[in-house]
Chain A
Amino acid sequence: MHPITTVHYMALSAALLLIGTVGVLTRRNIVVVLMSIELILNAVNINLVAFSRAFGADHVHGQVFAIFVIADAVAETAVALGILIALFRNKETVQADEIDLLKW
Chain B
Amino acid sequence: MLIDTVFFYIFAAMTLLGGILTITRRNPVHSAISLIVSLLGVAGLYLLQKAEFLFAVQIILYVGGIMVLFLFVIMLVNLDAAAKEHEFSGQWPVALAAVAAVAAVAGWFLYHGRSAFHIAAPAYGVIAAGGAGNTERVADSLFQDYLLPFEIASILLLVAVVGSVIMAKKRI
- Find out whether A and B make contact in their complex, taking CB atoms under 8 A apart as touching: yes
Residue of A nearest to B137 (CB): A60
Chain A nearest Cβ from B75, distance in angstroms: 10
Q: Are B35 and A71 in contact (CB-based, < 8 A)? A: no
Chain B count of residues within 8 A CB distance of the other chain:
88
User: Which of B1, B15, B149: most chain A CB closer than 10 A?
Assistant: B15
- C-alpha gap A21/B79 in the complex (Å): 24
With A26-B23, A26-B89 known to touch, is A78 a contact of B161 (CB < 8 Å)? yes
Name the B residues within 8 Å of A10 (CB-CB).
110, 117
Is B89 a contact partner of A19 (Cβ separation < 8 A)? no
Whether A25 touches B95, Cβ cut-off 8 Å, given contacts A57-B126, A71-B157, A72-B153, is yes
- With A18-B103, A49-B51, A67-B138 already in contact, the answer to whether A54 and B117 are too (CB < 8 A) is yes
Q: How far is the CA of A96 from the CA of B49 in the complex (A)?
A: 37
Interface membership of chain A positions 11-45, coded 1 if the CB is closer than 8 angstroms to chain B and 0 otherwise: 11011101111110111110110111011001001
Residue contact A57 to B128, C-beta cutoff 8 Å = yes
Contacts of B90 in A (CB 8 A): 97
Extra A-B contacts (4), CB below 8 Å, given A31-B28, A64-B138, A64-B141: A4-B8, A29-B85, A31-B31, A54-B117
B interface residues (Cβ-Cβ under 8 A, vs A) = 1-2, 4-5, 8, 12, 15-16, 19-20, 22-23, 25, 28, 31-32, 35, 38-39, 42, 45-46, 49-51, 53-54, 57-58, 61-62, 65-66, 69-70, 73-74, 76-78, 81-82, 85-92, 95-96, 98-99, 102-103, 106-107, 110, 114, 117-119, 121-122, 126, 128, 134, 137-138, 141-142, 145-146, 149, 153, 156-157, 159-161, 163-168, 170
Selected A-B contacts with CB under 8 Å, 20 pairs = A7-B114, A20-B23, A22-B99, A25-B98, A26-B88, A26-B91, A26-B96, A31-B77, A32-B28, A42-B15, A45-B46, A49-B49, A49-B54, A54-B121, A60-B137, A63-B53, A76-B160, A77-B66, A79-B167, A86-B167
